[in-house]
C-alpha cells in the first residue's frame, strides 16, 4: 500500500518498519497511513502457529518508530 508515498514521513516510517520486519516472524505488516503523528498499520497474521500476536507486533513497531521518529505519537492497527 503505497498510496501515501508522496508523504516524506510515510517513507521514513516505511523504512523503520522494514528494519523491524525480521523480528516479526511470519506476520505481514503493511503501512496504511501516516496522519497527524498517527501511524496506521495492517497486521496480517500468519496462518501457522509461529505467528506473533497482533498486539505484540504493534508494540514492537511502535517502540521502534517512536525511538527513531519522535514526531510519531501513536501506532494503531488498521482493520479493513
Which pLDDT tens digits describe the chain residue by residue (80 residues)?
Answer: 444 557 889 999 999 999 998 887 777 899 999 999 999 999 887 666 556 788 888 999 999 999 999 999 999 999 88
| Domain membership flag for residue 1 | no
Give which of 50, 64, 67, 6 is closest to 41, Cα–Cα: 64
What total of structural domains would you count in the chain?
1
The pLDDT of residue 1 is 43
| Domain membership flag for residue 39 | yes
| Domain membership flag for residue 27 | yes
Amino acid at each position: 500500500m503505497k498510496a501515501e508515498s508522496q508523504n516524506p514521513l510515510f517513507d521514513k516510517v516505511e523504512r523503520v518498519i522494514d528494519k523491524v520486519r525480521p523480528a516479526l516472524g511470519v506476520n505481514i505488516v503493511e503501512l496504511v497511513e501516516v496522519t497527524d503523528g498517527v501511524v496506521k498499520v495492517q497486521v496480517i497474521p500468519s496462518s501457522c502457529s509461529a505467528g506473533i500476536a497482533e498486539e505484540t507486533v504493534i508494540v514492537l513497531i511502535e517502540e521502534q518508530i517512536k525511538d527513531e521518529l519522535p514526531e510519531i505519537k501513536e501506532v494503531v492497527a488498521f482493520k479493513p
